[in-house]
Amino acid sequence: MNNVHLIDHPLVQHKLTLMRRKDASTNSFRRLLNELATLMTYEVTRDVPMQEVPIETPLETTTGRVIDGKKLVFISILRAGTGILDGMLAVVPGARVGHIGLYRDPQTLQPVEYYFKVPGHMEDRDVIIVDPMLATGNSAVAAVARIKQLHPRSIKFVCLLTCPEGIRAMQTAHPDVAIYTAAIDRQLNDHGYILPGLGDAGDRIFGTK
């Protein structure tokens, strides 16, 4: 699959397995999600631009390389995407953060935007959109289309889990957007849940069920 990065590092897979278990508590689910998000950020940011800066070590002057964290924007698709942010910010504390809220219109079944707040000057920034589950792909496709209106330098999409249906939807609409995921599960069920999956990510993060 083009432009899909499966992060199959043993630590990522181990933590994902613990999260899938139905008896994982809200507390441990959230903690594991934080840790996973941190580990995934390492891979997702592998190619971010760097610049050289002069520095002084205790012994001499040299040149070091740094990223410009402020140019990175993590955009959470509400509400479950928020559960990923802390883990990402732990390793890129200077990143900017945006939020996009979408709900599904019961008549048209199409996503409708109810909240949108992102930093200014998006044309100078690299965007990483986050949502734990890329399932039908409807929200992700709409979120990417909305962000594209602001012409950022680049867009990536990060999820914990996806399935062939979600990947197909994203790649049909946005073949230029790389998808980073810890697993590609078997399929969607009739209610739009990923199988075997991990259930409702929002409910499991926030303990709302």
Supply the residues annotated as catalytic. Answer: 104, 108, 200, 203
Q: Applying CB under 6 A, does 85 fall inside the site for ligand URA?
A: no
The answer to whether 172 and 201 are in contact (CB under 8 A) is no
Size of the site for ligand URA (CB under 6 A): 10
Of 157 and 193, CB closest to ligand URA = 193
User: What is the rounded radius of gyration, in angstroms, for the C-alpha atoms of the chain?
Assistant: 18
DSSP class of residue 47 equals: T
Residue 188 to residue 83: CA distance in whole angstroms: 22
* Binds ligand URA (CB under 6 A): choice among 85, 130, 201, 205: 201
Residue closer to ligand URA (CB basis): 29 or 193: 193
3-state secondary structure of 4: strand
- Alpha-carbon distance of 171 to 118, in angstroms, equals 24
Site string for ligand URA, 127-146 (x = CB under 6 A): ------x-x-----------
Query: Which window, 15-23, 82-90, 174-182, 191-199, contacts ligand URA (CB under 6 A)?
Result: 191-199
- In sequence order, the β-bridge partners of residue 128 are 74, 156
Residues lying near ligand URA in the complex (CB under 6 A): 80, 133, 135, 192-194, 197, 200-202
